[in-house]
Chain A
Amino acid sequence: MPEFHRPSLKALVPIAALYILAGSFASANADAVPGITPTGILLGGTHPYSGPASAYGVIGKGIAAYFAYVNDRGGVNGRKITYKDQDDAYNPAQTVQIVKGLAEQDQVFAFFNTLGTPSNLAIRQYLNDQKIPQLFVATGATTWGADGVKYPYTLGFNPDYQAEATIFGKNIVAHQPDAKIAILYQNDDFGQDYVTGLQKGLGSKASQIVKMASYEVSDPDVRSQMATLQGSGADTLVIAATPKFAVGAMVALGQLSWKPTTYLTNVSASQTAMQAATKAGGAAATDGIISDAYTLDPTNATQANTAGMKLYRDILAKYGQGLDPNNGFILYGMAAAYTMVDTLQKAGKDLTRDKLMDAALHLNEKNPFLWPGVELQTSPSDHFTIREEQLIHYNNGVWEPAGSVIDARK
């Protein structure tokens, strides 16, 4: 088979030459703190700009807009932030390679808001071995807070699913002590975290859960599950479902003429999802649903005049050309970027990675992009970053606050 012999060397030589060339550019300065110069800070990140989760890509753009705004106003302690954000297509194997490249070749100072539970799990051990901060990761898994002692260089941002469900559980105990509870949940870690949190919040009342029904992401819809739950005679329903299925569940409420007190996970409480459910199932499907929020909601007219919302729109007008300001993911990115800048500021002028972690673990912050009253707190023994949330009611097409902010810690 002559085709196996001939081209071999010619194929290898240019490839090898290319790598040698690439290698000669890599150099490390042992004395300096990686990623820190007198005028700049280099941060690394990953977001899925392509692939199945590409809807989250705009988070990176919200972050970039906020950093551009901060840089134009003089940066952080005289240093401008460069954010090297790359596309990992939501594939953990790709995240690992990108992160190693950013750490070793680009010598980033810290990683910020890397997105996705699998992706962050894949890089956590490496970054902690290297003592590189992995800050304010964009995922709601409970492990970021719960395993903070084992992984001291890793810190979450989003309230974890268990905390959210705990808040629902506490609210049920406080307002409907005799509730008969039904749960619809997605059969994966997200859904199961949710069930665990709810049981925790209900405490001794956990026995009042009369029926649980789960669905698979591959299921066509959740109608049969909803009929089963209705048949149990429950008067309270908790929906721990991703948007597509949550909309289906709300529509089913209208069709089955079932009117339980309904709690809906924040994951699916976007205005887009609520409008879709109202359109398909009528106002009865969504009216009075309870959910929770921790960031501002760009589609909520009642917040249009808050300082945070004004700042958000001003920044987007100048630094976020072409972005849809009503997309809540952009606002989320900006909220996380605010906390990152705040942390860098507090870490002081003599930046080191350990000082950054120290600042990140002593936060007590009022973030203008979070729901008014929601505060961000960390301590060396508490790696849960946001654990406060505002309960909200859906009334006449708008989310309205109900009661005061609840802290899942207490």
Chain B
Amino acid sequence: MKTFALAAVVVAIVPWLLPQYIAFELAYAGAYAIAILGLVILTGRNGQISLGHGAFMAVGGYTVAIAATRGGWPPEAALLLAAVLCAFLGGIVGVVALRLSGAYLALATFALAVSVAPLLKRFKEVTGGSQGITLATAHAPGALAGVLASERWLYYETWLVAGVLFAASWFALQGRLGRALRALRDNEIAAVSFGINPVIYKTLAFAWSAAYAGIAGALIANATAYVSPDSYALQLSITLLIGAVLGGLGSMWGAIAGGVIVEFLPLWAQTINPAASSLIYGISLIVVMIAMPGGIAGGIQRVARTLSRPRGGSQPERT
């Protein structure tokens, strides 16, 4: 609990120590962390892989865009709608996923990611086609607008949502639900013989995870103030999985590390050499994976353990 409180204080202070645009970029990092947390739950906890979470982000983003521009909804309300809609769609995909596993599930979800852009272009009347939908720039509500510039407001909004979602996941995974998901991951037959219903729990994991991706998509659409099919290219789904693996699939803190990497590594690679940014990005990924096979969260854990270990003694690895 102390950790959470301290993290909250750090998150609250950070935007006042930094220029506005970095607060803005950190808002994206927060949104990516939410989407990656969805993958940590689905893949890390429940052992189901998804290469299609970009599709759920697209649904979330377009929900906000359409609800705000056509229905005049406030973005916060649209955020809830996006979560519900994506949970529903995720549930449907989850039912299909029951029959598939491993590489086959990866391929099936990959199809989701591939089909999202053509679908968005097809239903032009609703989605604005390839030109997309432009939203109004997000501003803090009411009296807050005087104190908080748009960028800092987006930062607080995103990290507040992230805080709630991380806390919710933490409590949910502590108990029966978390144990059931892990049991299904480790040995489904054994889990079923203990009375765990795989249909319910695996579908639930997918719906839960998709809802998080949808919320992340909604937050990013709100921050960018623009959605188009090009925002949800195939690359996005892969990037999310990269973030989850690099951050560390084993822990929730890994999702935050993953969000920060997904957001800042490409931007950092730019500053080294804009023409070779993808090369530098790729090399960095390889280096991190070799140096820290358990992801960044796992790597920091290992270093911390090594430092605190009494000299000469040995301690069993914690898993």
Contact = CB atoms under 8 A, between A and B. Distances in A.
A321 B129 CA distance: 40
B278 to A, nearest CB: 4
A311 B208 CA distance: 61
A242 to B, nearest CB: 12
Interface stretch (B11-19, B85-93, B104-112, B184-192): B11-19
B23 to A, nearest CB: 9
Given A122-B224, A122-B228, A22 B18 contact: yes
A89 interface: yes
A10 to B, nearest CB: 6
Contacts of A126: 137, 225
A126 B225 CA distance: 9
A118 B132 contact: yes
Given A96-B224, A96-B226, A16 B10 contact: yes
A11 B220 contact: no
Interface residues of B, number: 60
Contact of A11 (B178, B223, B228, B296): B296
Contacts of A50: 277-278
A12 B132 contact: no
Chain A interface size range: 35 or more
A132 B96 CA distance: 50
A91 interface: yes
Dominant SS at the B interface?
Answer: helix
Interface in A196-239: 216-218
Which among A103, A118, A129 has the greatest number of chain B C-beta atoms within 10 A? A118
Given A50-B278, A90-B230, A15 B260 contact: yes
Interface stretch (B74-82, B156-164, B248-256): B248-256
A143 B278 CA distance: 31
B235 A118 contact: no
A94 interface: yes
A19 to B, nearest CB: 5
A400 B25 CA distance: 50
Contacts of A9: 3, 6-7
Contacts of A12: 7, 10
B22 A19 contact: yes
Contacts of B24: 97, 100
Contacts of B253: 4, 7-8, 11
Interface in B127-145: 129-132, 134, 137
Interface stretch (B193-201, B267-275, B283-291): B267-275
Interface of A: 1-12, 15-16, 19-20, 22-23, 26, 49-52, 57, 61, 85-87, 89-94, 96-98, 100-101, 103-105, 116-119, 121-122, 124-126, 129, 141, 143, 187-190, 216-218
Interface of B: 3, 6-7, 10, 14, 17-22, 24-26, 28, 118, 121-122, 129-132, 134, 137, 151, 170, 173-174, 178, 220, 223-226, 228-231, 233, 235, 250-253, 256-257, 260, 266-267, 270, 274-275, 277-278, 296-297, 300-301, 304, 318
12 contacts: A3-B297, A7-B251, A9-B6, A11-B253, A16-B10, A23-B19, A49-B278, A87-B278, A91-B231, A121-B131, A143-B131, A189-B130
